[in-house]
Amino acid sequence: MKRFPHVLLLVESSRSSGRELLRGIADYARLHGPWSFYWEPRGLETAVPRLRDWRPDGVIMRDFDPDDQTIPRGVPAISVGHSRDQVPGVVSIVSSSEAIADMAFDHLVDCGLRCFGYCGYRDKPWSMRRQKRFACRVKDSGYPLFEYEPPPNLAASNWDEELPQLVQWVDALPKPIGLMACNDDRAQQVSEACKVAGVRVPDDVAIIGADNDRLVCEFSDPPLSSVELDFHSAGLQAAEVLDQLMSGKAVETFTIPVDPTCVVARTSTDTLAVDDLAVANALRYIRKNPRRTIRVDEVARSAALSRRVLEKRFRNYLGRSVMQEIRRVRTDHIARLLLETDWTIQQIGAEMGFSGIEHIARYFRREKGMSPLAFRRKYSHRLASRPAVR
């Protein structure tokens, strides 16, 4: 009788990131297995179980330690980075923190914000990498940056003790300000601190997190904007690499990236902090009409300016033309429809005013670097967990 590989999964499942990672692993095993899994619902602090009669052929676990004697030596393993980053000599799943910070910064800039803050953890390497990149982007752009310093020797779980300091920090920030939190949990804590301090979100502080944990984001008041990460694809790749290791094959890479896919904008960044009233009116007009084919002259009329003057002020403030902003907003809306609905590309094209599939495909590819079909296929696993928009 053929023996199925026994795979030990010690991945926290209390957050959507861990669940998506597990779903990617399960999808790979369903196509290339079968595998026999040892898995149980876990939180971040769940202890490693003591295995007596179940010897794994492979392990995927959070913060794998090669010296941990609870895992038999020599068993192929993949580490899911959390408190540790890349584990030397071990294939590690690591978030693309620099790309995540870039996406968050660009979103806040598109909201018209010109003053920025960052709130993270001092003991998490992924948080520090996001902070470093976010700080570089802010400083390279010539804008002021305010970074939160967590209390030393304070556990991340000791929120009650930290709250007064965070309240004091957000209260002292210049307003308006765009603030990146290292993840959605931290973004929710910043939002709660703003409530205690009497600071308005998003009018005074616009907040964006990362991971797009829908439960955390949508239970927050107001709902939190977040950078969505492709943990599902990382799970697929991790399972493929583990399969190779269990077969005795060498692997070419020791890093499996978790890449960001898009910003899911919610109320916490629903602001337009633009001092130039005419530019602000033009931006509002563009963003209120993502499904219509609008022209630059139409936008200029909404701002009560000539096209030439609007173009000059637009470039001075945003660094791009009016038409580039129209294309960006429309393409982002197409991407949201591709990910959040089960509409065909032809239906989306008709809804957006395109003459045919070829037209919308060219338009989308120019901005995103891939066709609408390729974009949907790459992230098609998301459709199963999202309601159709009608």
Q: What is the pLDDT of residue 254?
A: 87
CATH class of the domain defined by 6-95+231-260: alpha beta
Alpha helices in 173-230 (DSSP H): 184-197, 214-219
Q: Specify the 3-state DSSP secondary structure of 264.
A: strand
The CATH H-level superfamily of 97-229+263-269 is Response regulator (3.40.50.2300)
Provide the token pair at 95: 């978030």
Whether the CB-CB separation of 117 and 223 falls below 8 Å is answered with: no
| 52 backbone dihedrals φ, ψ, rounded to 5° | -105, -55
d(CA 263, CA 258): 15
Task: Give the residue among 270, 279, 129, 326 at the shortest CA–CA distance from 210.
Answer: 129
Name the segment(s) of the chain with CATH classification 1.10.10.60: 277-380
Tokens of 382: 């998301």
Residues forming CATH 3.40.50.2300 domain(s) in the chain: 6-95+231-260, 97-229+263-269
Q: Which of 232, 229, 234, 246 is nearest to 32 (CA)?
A: 246
Q: How far apart are CA 224 and CA 221, in angstroms?
A: 8
The distance of Cα 189 from the centroid of its chain, to the nearest Å, equals: 17
pLDDT value at residue 387? 42
pLDDT of 154 reads 64
H helical segments located in the chain: 16-32, 97-110, 125-140, 159-172, 184-197, 214-219, 231-246, 277-288, 296-302, 307-318, 322-340, 345-351, 357-368, 372-378
Q: Domain 277-380: which topology?
A: Arc Repressor Mutant, subunit A (1.10.10)
pLDDT at position 280: 87
What per-residue confidence (pLDDT) applies to 4?
Answer: 83
Provide block-wise average pLDDT over 10 residues at a time, the chain (390 residues).
79 87 93 84 56 77 76 84 78 94 95 94 91 97 94 70 93 96 96 96 96 92 94 94 91 89 91 84 91 93 92 86 92 88 92 92 92 83 45
Half-sphere exposure of 299 (CA within 13 A, CB side): 30
- Cα(372)–Cα(47) distance, integer angstroms: 43
- The whole-number pLDDT of residue 15 equals 84
Which pLDDT does position 389 carry in this prediction?
44
Distance CA 211, CA 258 (A): 10
Handedness of CA 320, 139, 258, 246 (dihedral sign): positive
Map tokens 């393993």 to a residue: 77
